[in-house]
Homo-oligomer: A and B are copies of this chain.
Amino acid sequence: MKQAKVRLYVEHALGEGQTVPLTRDQAHYLFGVMRLGPEAELLLFNGRNGEWLATVAEAGKRGGCLLCHRQTRPLQCPPDLWLLFAPIRKARTDFMVEKAAEMGVARILPVKSAHTNAERIRRDRLQAHAIEAAEQCGGTFVPPVGELRPLERVLAEWPEDRLIMFCDETLAGARAGLGAAVRGKGGQGGKWAILIGPEGGFSPAERARLHALPFACPVSLGPRILRADTAAVAAMTLWQSTLGDW
């Protein structure tokens, strides 16, 4: 929702009296698009040092400099939840990354499953979407977006102390709410990941493998077929309201 001041993500360290140099793109955005002048106030965050009030110290066409004054919000880290998803059409993949950053996940990991059409992703563009979501929604943390990796390899190297909430659209609703899955695995408060399949779902071999994994919890998302991006938001909501910080 609307922020009174411009919020900008920067790579630079933030602290009292710290000067923060601007890239050409940042200078264009602040001085060309948002029309900030000398002494104008804005909010900065870098995903590590919380949110800081800063002012424009130097404004140029190709660069500039900001001055950090005081911390306005401490760093607020999300729960230890990862989102694994199979990339789908561009707009819907962008959307999933944006929503994951908004709703509070710690890492975003694109995976290539049997029915995934995408051969590659633009990791830098997806990361920019996560940053923009944090800028607009008042976040102080930005989940890192990983490279696209085969689901099979990701599962082969999986850390066994991290449970996977695996959304299986073939499950009957009554059989597998998240509450039941959690009681079965005793996973409250622990490390988790949500795994969302591609359009077309998981292959039978993938589904069988996932069901056999000791750290995987199959969960139903109701009697209707949901698009992958809808399923991602619904799964994050269920997890956050059952096990997370909502």
| Range class of the A interface residue count | 35 or more
Interface contact B245-A222, CB-CB below 8 Å: yes
Interface presence of A213 (CB below 8 A)? no
Interface presence of A76 (CB below 8 A)? yes
Residues of B within 8 A of A137 (CB): 224-227
Interface of A: prevailing SS: loop
Interface contact B102-A230, CB-CB below 8 Å: yes
Question: How far, in whole Å, are A199 and B2 apart by their CA atoms in the complex?
Answer: 6
A1-B225 CB under 8 A given contacts A237-B238, A245-B173: yes
Oligomeric state, in copies: 2
Interface presence of A139 (CB below 8 A)? yes
How far apart are A195's CB and chain B's nearest CB, in angstroms? 15
Interface presence of A110 (CB below 8 A)? no
Residues of B within 8 A of A237 (CB): 233-234, 237-238
How far apart are A160's CB and chain B's nearest CB, in angstroms? 28
Interface contact A246-B221, CB-CB below 8 Å: yes
Binary contact track A218-246/B, C-beta < 8 Å → 1, others 0: 00111111111010011011101100111
Instruction: Give chain A's interface residues, CB within 8 Å of chain B.
Output: 1-2, 76, 95, 99, 102-104, 136-139, 169, 173, 177, 199-201, 220-228, 230, 233-234, 236-238, 240-241, 244-246
Instruction: Provide a sorted-by-A list of 16 A–B residue pairs whose CB atoms are within 8 angstroms.
Output: A1-B228, A2-B199, A76-B223, A95-B95, A102-B230, A103-B222, A103-B224, A104-B224, A137-B226, A139-B224, A177-B241, A177-B246, A222-B240, A237-B237, A237-B238, A238-B241
